[in-house]
């Protein structure tokens, strides 16, 4: 941790006891703040909170590119029965996800695990359904990031040649994970491995909901905290394995 770093934040967002021991390497001056006061500042000053999300996610994007060939992503769980079934019929057309279906998909996403129902009730009507045939490209590396995609059905894979990274995302996952919340350009190319259905959110709609509902912002920050915690441990394991070799 270096100057301007915040430590203890992961534990605060995840509402858990400290998971690590912090020891001063040099003489250090630190500003100490109660967690409740810090959260109040974030709630009252959304631009500060929005910048925190961007910096947090950007650091995870950098870390992801170091953790090839999987990028540090988890492999999706084997599909269950609901993953193999067609989406429920809707008056809007076969395979269309109506607002209730979209709400259910969003509620299953780890990104919104701590958001509560009200922010999702605001997001679901603005979300859209996207269908992809197996092999179809969802977005290409270098594309502008304006949309976020949650998998409702099927499997989506991302890929990058330099550094070489391959990973896949199943039901409930945010395609490309934390980096999708950070970059202005896509770090990966994403394509459907199987026929797939996605719930697509405009990035600006999510930002508006986070500004109006602090629970949604806390949920996004907690999601990033979980990802950072997991990926930092993976990085440490890779370094330890490299040192042993």
Amino acid 130: pLDDT: 95
Please calculate the CA angle 98-202-168 and round it to the nearest 5 degrees: 80
Amino acid 172: pLDDT: 94
pLDDT at 78 over 70: no
**Would you list the domain boundaries of the chain?**
1-245
What's the CATH number for 1-245? 2.60.120.10
pTM for the predicted model, two decimal places: 0.86
The tens digit of pLDDT for each residue in 66-75 reads 998 999 998 8
pLDDT range class, residue 183, cuts 50, 70, 90: confident
Amino acid 119: pLDDT: 96
CB 230 within 8 Å of CB 72:
yes
Separation CA 244–CA 141 (nearest Å):
35
Span 7-26, average pLDDT: 84
User: 10-14, 60-64, 136-140: which has the minimum mean pLDDT?
Assistant: 10-14
The tens digit of pLDDT for each residue in 56-66 reads 899 899 999 99
Amino acid 16: pLDDT: 85
Separation CA 70–CA 68 (nearest Å):
5
Span 198-203, average pLDDT: 96
Separation CA 108–CA 199 (nearest Å):
12
pLDDT at 86 over 50: no
Long-range contacts of 74-79 (CB under 8 A, 24+ apart): 74/230, 75/167, 75/168, 76/155, 76/168, 76/169, 76/170, 76/171, 76/173, 77/170, 79/155, 79/170, 79/171
Amino acid 108: pLDDT: 94
The tens digit of pLDDT for each residue in 87-99 reads 444 433 445 799 9
Assess whether the previous peptide bond of 69 is cis (omega < 30° from 0): yes
Amino acid 245: pLDDT: 59
Tokens of 35: 């967690």
Q: Kindly state the percentage of the chain with pLDDT values over 90.
A: 63
Separation CA 59–CA 94 (nearest Å):
41
């Amino acid at each position: 941790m270096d100057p301007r770093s915040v430590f203890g934040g992961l534990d605060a967002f995840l509402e858990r006891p400290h998971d690590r021991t912090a020891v001063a390497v040099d003489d250090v001056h630190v500003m100490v703040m109660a967690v409740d006061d810090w959260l109040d500042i974030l709630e009252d000053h959304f631009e500060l909170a929005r910048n925190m999300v961007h910096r947090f996610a950007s650091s995870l994007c950098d870390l992801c590119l170091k953790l090839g060939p999987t990028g540090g992503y988890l492999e999706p769980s084997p599909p269950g029965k609901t993953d193999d079934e067609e989406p429920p019929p809707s008056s809007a057309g076969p395979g269309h996800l109506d607002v209730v279906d979209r709400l259910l998909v969003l509620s299953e996403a780890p990104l919104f695990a701590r958001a509560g129902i009200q922010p999702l009730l605001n997001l679901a009507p603005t979300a859209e359904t996207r269908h992809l045939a197996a092999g179809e490209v969802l977005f290409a590396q270098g594309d502008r990031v304006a949309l976020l995609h949650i998998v409702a059905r099927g499997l989506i894979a991302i890929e990058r040649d330099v550094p070489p990274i391959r990973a896949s995302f199943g039901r409930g996952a945010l395609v490309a994970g934390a980096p999708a919340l950070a970059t202005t350009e896509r770090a990966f190319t994403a394509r459907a491995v199987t026929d797939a259905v996605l719930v697509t959110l405009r990035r600006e709609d999510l930002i508006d909901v986070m500004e109006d509902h602090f629970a949604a912002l806390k949920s996004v920050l907690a999601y990033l905290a979980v990802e950072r915690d997991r990926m930092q441990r993976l990085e440490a394991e890779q370094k330890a394995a490299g040192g042993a070799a």
